[in-house]
Structure 1
Amino acid sequence: MPMKKDVLKVVAKSILGVITLLFSFGLFAQGQTNTPKLPNDFWRNVQFGGGIGLSIGSGYTDITIAPSAIYNINQIVSVGTAVQFGYISAKNDYTSTLYGASLIGLVNPIPQVQLSVELEEINVNTDYQYLGGNNTNTIWNTALYLGAGYRTGNVTVGVRYDVLFDYNNGYYSDPFMPFIRVYF
């Protein structure tokens, strides 16, 4: 779909522009002064988190590993990245492996509210064992999530919505997705 790709390009360029702009403010603030240099604060502003999922049942296995890291520009704005790996197997039905990455932007207008934007690109490779033989399907799924959540300490619970969602072509079955974020 050419329209979806054009929208994706505009959105990706906009997100990269915002991230560049946010980092530029930090660079302009680093002017020459006569005060002694302080140690590099970069790692003090980095938080790590992510998710681990395991679901095992009668002939079904779902394993997900999704580490992420964010850089706190200030108390309100954070940017980061995540990677995702997954394996799903339904006995005598299909197996699916996926991998991908995300760019994340977080805004905390007040300490209890977290707004987010996340651009996710995942590759999904599915092998079907039914329908008279093995069939393979590989897709790239692009999602642009806008989210909101309640934040307490290092934990945020909320929901996100994929604005690029297409019911006829994609990996997920619904544009809404609940989330729990934890960063240390």
Structure 2
Amino acid sequence: MSLCFAHLSFAQVSANKTQSNFWENVRFGGGVGLSFGDGFFSGSLAPSAIYQFSPQFATGLGLSGSYVKSRNDFSSTVLGASILNFYSPIPEIQTSAEFEILNVDRNFESDFIDENYWYPALYLGLGYNTGNVTVGIRYDVLYDENDSIYAEPYAPFVRVFF
């Protein structure tokens, strides 16, 4: 009887150890933005989580949401999700590939036609990594100047993961 009890106890410890190892490799991060002025407001929230497979490889998911309002001009709501992939050939350098899909909803207070559409983006990036913080630039290879929410395909970034 004590052998059976010892076996069950060992199985429980093993299951807890596997579960705790998973969460030890998960890192959380994201971004928050706020901008306002005379008749203008912009706010954004973009949480993300990655799983660090090794010191070189990580992958994860991100969500994003933003709202912009310009008095007597327009308002815009953008909601999206992304798949994140990072590779660091050496600890100081991080390359990235991110696929993002956004739902863009623009409402104009003038003669423009309101818009609601999906916009895909595929970013390839290169950054300098200092541990929890990476600073760099990324390029949208699917960039479309008519539909993108950004003025240019290049965008600087700062990533923070804990």
Q: What TM-score does the superposition give when structure 2 sets the normalisation length? A: 0.87
1:151 maps to which residue?
A: 129
* Stretches of structure 2 lacking an aligned partner (at least 5 in a row): 1-12
1:48 maps to which residue?
A: 28
Letter in 2 for 1:48: F
Q: Which deviates the most, 168-177 or 50-59?
A: 168-177
Taking only aligned residues, the RMSD between alpha carbons, in angstroms, comes to: 1.4
Distance in 2 (alpha carbons) for counterparts of 1:156 and 1:115: 10
Matches within 5 A, 1:131-150: 131=111, 135-150=113-128
* Stretches of structure 1 lacking an aligned partner (at least 5 in a row): 1-35
1:120 maps to which residue?
A: 100
Residue 107 (structure 1) shift: 0.5
Distance in 2 (alpha carbons) for counterparts of 1:138 and 1:173: 18
Distance in 2 (alpha carbons) for counterparts of 1:167 and 1:86: 19
The structure with more radius of gyration: 2
Q: SS where residue 98 of structure 2 aligns?
A: strand
Distance in 1 (alpha carbons) for counterparts of 2:97 and 2:148: 19
2:43 maps to which residue?
A: 63
1:176 maps to which residue?
A: 154
Asked whether the 8 Å contact 1:129–1:135 carries over to 2, the reply is no
State percent identity of aligned pairs.
Answer: 45
Q: Alpha-carbon deviations, 1:149-180, whole Å to 9, x = none?
A: 00101000000000111223332221001100
Matches within 5 A, 1:88-127: 88-127=68-107
Asked whether the 8 Å contact 1:125–1:137 carries over to 2, the reply is yes
More strand by proportion, 1 or 2? 2
Q: What TM-score does the superposition give when structure 1 sets the normalisation length? A: 0.77
Residue 130 (structure 1) shift: 1.4
Q: SS where residue 43 of structure 1 aligns?
A: helix
